[in-house]
Chains A and B, each alone.
Chain A
Amino acid sequence: MSSPHERGLALRAAAGDQEAFAEIVRAHQRAVFNVAYRLLGNVRDAEDAAQDAFLRAWQFFDQFDADRPLAPWLKQITVNVCLNRLQANPPASSLDDDLLPLKDPQPGPEAQTVNRLRDERIRRAILSLPPRYRAVIELRHFQGLRYEEIVRALNRPLSDVKSDLFRARKLLTAWLKDVEG
């Protein structure tokens, strides 16, 4: 259920109101960018994919049910856009050093630094996965979708979704255990 304000914005955007759409973009761009970044692992590609996702949303806003919350819809479009990109251009390398510009140049206290390193390891571990594994991890753990919702989102059988999810988790656990030694 969306808030009355968000519902109003969605209805205005569906009617072609660019100002309303701009407000939606400002409110959701960070979340959408992060979905794309977790799947693509590259800042520039993630920004492009986020823009693509918003443009798709603009184009098909009249199909959106304004009574539902916007964020899951936008995130799912982003996942589809990213998966299409990964399918068209499979990543040459699983890891991308484009993570580096996002590091905080000013190191904070020791605990913060440790946390930051841990976060970076997790991001790298996710990016080491094949795209279809990244997708199920994104949908299950970052978007909180249930199995049957992932099945609908990816249009794949439940057995495939479960198998990919379990394997992805196993790989991530092994990768993190290996890195943390």
Chain B
Amino acid sequence: MHLTEEQIHSYLDGLLEEPARRVAEAHLTACADCRRRADELQALFTALGTLPDLPLRRDLTPVLLAKLHPKQSKIESRPALAWSRSLAAQWGLVTGFALWLGMQLAAILELPAVPLPSIPLPVLRLPALPLDILPEQFPMPQIPVPQLPTLDFQTPSFFFLLSSSHLTLLLTLTALLWVMGNAALLRHRPAASSCEVPEGGACRRIQK
């Protein structure tokens, strides 16, 4: 009866305890077939054990140092960042709720819509060189403009009064929430899984 594969491997790995080790040793002395299998494995162990390390083509240190982030600032910045994000989210929720409540109250009390501040247009008007300075030399052609049809537009009314200022506020609020939602979704996550770094044990890495 020959030694099993596991017995030979365990013997060569030094895992067999007495008396199993002595039994295997005696068998290997007597059985040429098992000795040949053990010798082949032992030759492989020697070949693997004497395989020299290859030289590095380049020093990895400069590239690595360029990729490092200062650990101190990384550790300190995290709680502050989390706190500010949380504050921003709370502020956004409170503001949103206040606006919604205000709109509801305005609708119930039938308050007039808040007029938007008028912006004096001349301030925004930029000088138009050909028109302002050289109108005489280059008279602009007069193009007859056809009369446009008048549109009958009525402010849509839902279950509450939606005035232009309400609409503006609603859009602003939506934009604000969108930005904050994105900020929450794109929050910092560590690039590496701590699982790759052995602490007590490592994670399973590979599927059979």
Q: A155: which of B49, B197, B204 is its contact (CB, 8 Å)? A: B204
- Digit string of A22-63 for contact with B (CB within 8 Å is 1, else 0)? 100110011101100100000100010011001111111101
CB distance from A176 to the nearest CB of B (A): 7
Are B61 and A26 within 8 A (Cβ)? yes
Are A119 and B196 within 8 A (Cβ)? no
Are B68 and A58 within 8 A (Cβ)? yes
Are B204 and A59 within 8 A (Cβ)? no
Given A55-B192, A63-B199, the answer on whether A84 and B205 have CB atoms closer than 8 Å is: yes
Q: A141 interface residue, CB < 8 Å from B?
A: yes
Are B198 and A47 within 8 A (Cβ)? no
Q: A177 — which chain B residues lie within 8 A by C-beta?
A: 40
Q: B15 interface residue, CB < 8 Å from A?
A: yes
Are A59 and B190 within 8 A (Cβ)? yes
Residue of A nearest to B201 (CB): A152
A100 to B30, CA, bound (A): 45
Are A51 and B194 within 8 A (Cβ)? no
Q: B201 — which chain A residues lie within 8 A by C-beta?
A: 152-153, 155
Are A22 and B65 within 8 A (Cβ)? yes
A33 to B5, CA, bound (A): 33
Are B60 and A50 within 8 A (Cβ)? yes
Given A155-B201, A155-B203, the answer on whether A63 and B194 have CB atoms closer than 8 Å is: yes
Q: A50 — which chain B residues lie within 8 A by C-beta?
A: 60
Q: A70 interface residue, CB < 8 Å from B?
A: no
Residue of A nearest to B5 (CB): A166
Q: A66 interface residue, CB < 8 Å from B?
A: no
Are A59 and B15 within 8 A (Cβ)? no
Interface residues of B in 40-54 (CB under 8 A from A): 40-41, 43-45, 47-49, 51-54
Given A29-B59, A123-B51, the answer on whether A51 and B67 have CB atoms closer than 8 Å is: yes
CB distance from B76 to the nearest CB of A (A): 10
Give the size category of A's interface with B: 35 or more
Given A118-B47, A153-B198, the answer on whether A166 and B6 have CB atoms closer than 8 Å is: yes
Are A165 and B9 within 8 A (Cβ)? yes
CB distance from B2 to the nearest CB of A (A): 15
A59 to B195, CA, bound (A): 12
Are A154 and B202 within 8 A (Cβ)? yes
A34 to B56, CA, bound (A): 9
Residue of B nearest to A72 (CB): B198
Are A30 and B206 within 8 A (Cβ)? no
Which of A80, A131, A162, A173 counts the most chain B CB atoms within 10 A? A80
Residue of B nearest to A22 (CB): B61
Are A80 and B205 within 8 A (Cβ)? yes
Which B residues form the contact surface with A (CB < 8 A)?
Answer: 5-6, 9, 13, 15, 40-41, 43-45, 47-49, 51-61, 63-65, 67-68, 70-72, 75, 190-192, 194-199, 201-208
Besides A25-B64, A79-B205, A172-B44, 18 other CB < 8 A contacts?
A26-B59, A29-B60, A33-B54, A51-B60, A51-B67, A54-B64, A56-B192, A56-B197, A58-B71, A60-B194, A76-B202, A81-B196, A84-B205, A87-B206, A102-B54, A131-B206, A137-B48, A153-B202
For this complex, 5 residue pairs linking A to B, each with C-beta atoms less than 8 Å apart, are A26-B59, A59-B192, A80-B202, A122-B48, A155-B205
